[in-house]
Chains A and B, each alone.
Chain A
Amino acid sequence: MESSASFPILLSLRVAGLALLFVGPIGLAVALLQARFRYRLRGLVDALVLLPLVLPPSVVGYCLVVVFGRRGLVGRMLEEGIGLRLVFSPAGAALASAVVALPILVKTAQPSIEAVPSQLEDVARTLGLRPWEVILRVTLPLAWRGVLAALVLGFARAIGEFGATLMLAGNIPGRTNTMPVEIFSAFQEGDDARAGLYVAVLSAISVVVVLVAGLLGPREGRATA
């Protein structure tokens, strides 16, 4: 099946969007947890969150296949339970992207949450707000720059994911050929024009992301307290 040139672009945007929808709330919850609580397994959680950043993408992909593959424990449950097959599917590509986006999400959001004086959250509680209301009305409004930067960087990391995606979702034209995967195929086929198109698109997205994240970064002389 011959897929149109725009298919990988749209697929990549969909996959990264889906990944962010899934990992965004999880990443923010982990960032809040790590920023605000001192608990016994805090160091372990910190290490687990960082792991996808350090592990080679092929290792992440392999682990995902073992867990979420057709013979994996979770993979079998998902397939038999709700008919969701992750292997060789866009959903699998989204899962791989979500996993590799988690570290940058947590590590970008966490310092901005830590910078919110906990005294403000304390006062909010004495004024009758439940902990989740404190998060919505104090913590997130004050940490929004860092949280938004985290989401933007997470999106960029998700849209650029190659190794783990290839392992879990494969490279099926018209189904799982995201831009990074497509660049690799085109390069192997010697189709420089096709590879160049996606290289340009991904580069443009990255430049925009870096600029936006820079604008959202900590401002000189801006009091946080």
Chain B
Amino acid sequence: MSGAPALEVDLRITVGRGAAAFSVEARFSLPSGVLVLFGSSGAGKTVTLRAIAGLLRPARGSVQLAGEALFDWMRGVCVPAERRRIGYVPQDQALFPHLDVLGNVVFGLPRAERKKPGAATLALLDELGLTALREARVDALSGGERQRVALARALAAEPRLLLLDEPLSALDRPSRLAIGRSLREALARRSLPAVLVTHDAEEAAAFGDVFVRFERGKPAREMPREVVLGEGAPCPHCGKP
């Protein structure tokens, strides 16, 4: 393993045009494990996630994955999204409605592997409890099942980093716990670093190794766990815990 951190981000992103434009500044570094982007909606968490994936072009800054520059404004580097090998699970999962569960999972694989799924694909379906659902239509799935399919689809392409946008927030409590466990195990088994967006403190605490707080109009920075989650930190106004 090289000495470089799994992910290093230092970005300024401008979104929209004219009066509706706003900009997001974020600087953080993840040695390994899960980085949590925490904060209320509209603070730029999803935008930051999309910039790391290469789906939008930042105004300036840099993104480095295990020491490799994916984006470097100063040097004019911008690796296109399809060559970054970064898995992306958006908030609404964005499953392909014209394909069944298996078709979604193998979507990013080479043609031969799509026609006849190999051992790795079957193992992945099994790992995420999707074997029985492999021929199901995706619009017939429950929220938890959709999340498993989206996760399997991203993992099948063997990403170097996984981006998860509010992966658990739309789920009821039992499936939240179950999917949360599957997700943690899947990441640990592969030593796969991940960036997870959430506005839920409990979710952040359950997953995070490094925490970055997003607030509208303020630069996003790494924060100690207690400060981000408000755990046991003294109240800034009255000094009480």
Q: Write the residues of chain A forming the contact surface with B, with a CB cutoff of 8 angstroms.
A: 117, 119-120, 122-131, 137-138, 141-142, 223-225
Interface SS of chain A: helix, strand, loop or mixed?
helix
Q: Is the CB of B81 within 8 A of A125?
A: yes
Residues of chain B touching chain A, judged by Cβ–Cβ distance below 8 Å, are 50, 53-55, 80-88, 90, 92, 94, 96-98, 107-108, 139, 153-154, 157, 159, 163
- A-B contacts besides A127-B108, A131-B82, 9 pairs, CB < 8 Å: A122-B50, A122-B53, A127-B153, A127-B157, A128-B108, A128-B157, A129-B108, A137-B107, A225-B92
B residues less than 8 Å from A131 (CB atoms): 82
Q: Which residues of B contact A127 (CB under 8 A)?
A: 82, 87, 107-108, 153-154, 157
Flag if A126 contacts B82 (CB, 8 Å): yes
Residues in A neighbouring B139, C-beta threshold 8 A: 223
Q: With contacts A119-B90, A223-B139 known, is A124 near B98, CB below 8 A?
A: no
In the assembled complex, 13 residue pairs joining A and B whose CB atoms fall closer than 8 Å, in A order, are: A119-B90, A120-B94, A122-B90, A123-B90, A124-B96, A125-B81, A125-B82, A126-B82, A126-B87, A126-B88, A128-B157, A129-B82, A142-B98
Between A125, A130, A131, A223, the greatest number of chain B beta carbons within 10 A of the residue's beta carbon is seen for A125
**Quick check: B88 and A123 within 8 Å, CB to CB?**
yes
CB-based contact B87/A124 at 8 Å: no
Task: Report the minimal beta-carbon distance from B153 to chain A, rounded to whole angstroms.
Answer: 7
Smallest CB separation, A131 vs chain B (Å): 8
Q: How far is the CB of B69 from chain A (nearest CB, A)?
A: 18
Tally of A-B residue pairs with Cβ under 8 A? Answer: 63
Q: Are B88 and A122 in contact (CB under 8 A)?
A: yes
A141 to B96, CA, bound (A): 10
Residues on the B chain within 8 Å of A125, using CB: 54-55, 80-82
Cα of A223 to Cα of B137 in the assembled complex, Å = 13
CB-based contact A138/B88 at 8 Å: no
Residue of A nearest to B159 (CB): A126
- Chain A neighbourhood of B54, CB < 8 A: 125-126
- Knowing A126-B55, A126-B81, A128-B82, say if A141 contacts B98 (CB, 8 Å): yes
From the candidates A123, A129, A142, name the one contacting B97 in the complex (CB within 8 A). A142
A53→B92 CA distance, assembly (Å): 40
Q: Which residue of A lies closest to B83 (CB)?
A: A128
A142–chain B nearest beta-carbon distance, Å: 6
**Of A117, A129, A137, A224, which is within 8 A of B94 by CB?**
A117
Interface centre among B85, B98, B157 (most CB of A within 10 A): B98
Task: Say whether B55 contacts A128, CB under 8 Å.
Answer: no
Task: Give the Cβ gap from A41 to chain B, nearest Cβ, in Å.
Answer: 16
A-chain residues with CB within 8 Å of residue B92 when the two chains form the complex: 119, 225
Q: Which residue of the partner chain B has the closest CB to A126?
A: B88
Q: How far is the CA of A117 from the CA of B84 in the complex (A)?
A: 22
Per the bound structure, the CA–CA distance linking A173 and B220 in Å amounts to 75
